[in-house]
Structure formats: C-alpha cells, structure tokens
Amino acid sequence: MDSEEDKEREMSPEEQEESEEKEDEERRDVAGQKEDEKDEEDEERGDVTGEMKDMEEWNGFLSDGVTEKTRGDATADYLCSPEDNVYNISFSRFKIRDLERGSVILDLKRHCPTEIKDVIETDAGRFIQYHFTPSFLNLREIGATLEFTVGSKAVNRFRLIERHYFRELLLKTFDFEIGFCIPYSRNTCEHIYSLPDLDTHTIEEMIAHPFETRSDSFYFANNKLIMHHKAEYSFSETRNE
C-alpha cells in the first residue's frame, strides 16, 4: 500500500500547488469563521455593556418607589447644558386640557419660523412659572400637548421623565415614550397625566404656599440626557408675581 509520502511524490507540481492553495483556502475559512464568532461575541458583550450603561444612566430616575410618594426634592441645578441638545429640539406650543370636561386650561404658543433652523438655542428658556386656580388640584386626568421641531439629526428613543414635588415630598413621577423623530420635522404629541390623589392637608398647604410645588422635566435621546427643564406652580386664588 502506498504511503501518504509516496502519494505526495506522485503528484505533479500543478496538482501539488492546487492542493496547497486549497489547504490555504480552508485555513482562511476557518480563521474567518473564528473571527466572525469573535465579532458576534464582542457585539453581544457590547450590547450587554450598553444595556448596563443605560441602566446606570437611568438609575437616578427609575429607582425604587419612583411612582410612590416618597421623600425627595427638585434638583437645585440643571443636570445638563443647552449645548447637550445636539438634536436642536425646539418647543413651540404647550397646551393643557381637562380630559373630563374637554376644556382648555392653558395654551402657550411661541412663534415658530416657517423654515426649521438647525441651530442650538443656548438662550432657550428652561424655567417657567405656572399659575393655576385651586380647582386644578381636584382634576383627575389632564392631557398635555407638546409641539416641537427637530433639527438635522434624527432623534431615537426620545423620552420624557417628569417629577413633581411639593417641598420635599415627591408627589408623582411621569414617564412618557415619545419615540423616533425624523430630521427637520414638526411633531405633535399628547401625554395623558393621571394626577395623584392628594390628602386635604397637602392640598391646603400647596394652595397656601405658591411656587413651592416644583417639577423637573428630563428629556432623553438614546438614554442620554439632552434637556432639563424646571417649573414652579401656584394654586392660589390670586396671582403671585
């Protein structure tokens, strides 16, 4: 019986070259397969790492008891700068309506140019004071409509987390998924707020102490904080400037 060595000697130079090329190709295929497997493993690790990072970024906003009344306070400072709004999101209208009666409670409009400009508004107002009557605290559900424009970059996973406080008491946290917005677009969305049940003492205190009810509105894109707005509320019969 011929040995492998004898068979190799019997191969012509052309056959031997072809055999070596085939072996090289097989080795490259194996190496490529291993590289693909490594890339898939790296991608999976990246996804997990990204999810862990997302969880860390959300941890301060989605902690235990976030939807329950608990101790806390509105932030003293802004947690991001106007320059972080790299998507150039600009709000042009904010409307509040009583869902039970259908009446409009508030309708704030801002002049919006016909052409959407891709410019970061460093002087955009991030703080506002609202004056409502005491009857507002008896409402059960309201609808809040937002109108806004987006600049040249698409917005993925646009999300709003809003926290409302009276002094150090966290009244309620609202979490709204706005979603995807295409570049150079005008957008409208309405968020439904189920208002918290407040005891009589808390309502009386909120009415007696205007602007001690506060809120933080945190806007995220791809789980990164891009905007932070603050507000104060008065529920007294008379307007307090």
189-200 b/e with 16+ CB inside 10 Å = b?
Answer: bebebebbebee
d(CA 233, CA 133): 10
pLDDT at 31: 59
Mean pLDDT of 156-169: 95
Of the pLDDT bands very low, low, confident and very high (cuts 50, 70, 90), residue 76 is confident
Least confident of 50-64, 98-112, 182-196, 218-232: 50-64
pLDDT at 74: 77
d(CA 200, CA 202): 6
pLDDT at 1: 54
Q: What separation in angstroms does the CA of 221 have from each of 21, 82, 94, 183?
A: 51, 14, 20, 14
pLDDT at 237: 84
Burial environment of residue 98 by CB neighbours within 10 A (0 to 12, 13 to 18, 19 or more):
middle
Is residue 49 pLDDT above 60, yes or no? Answer: no
pLDDT at 219: 96
pLDDT at 50: 46
17-45 b/e with 16+ CB inside 10 Å = b?
Answer: eeeeeeeeeeeeeeeeeeeeeeeeeeeee
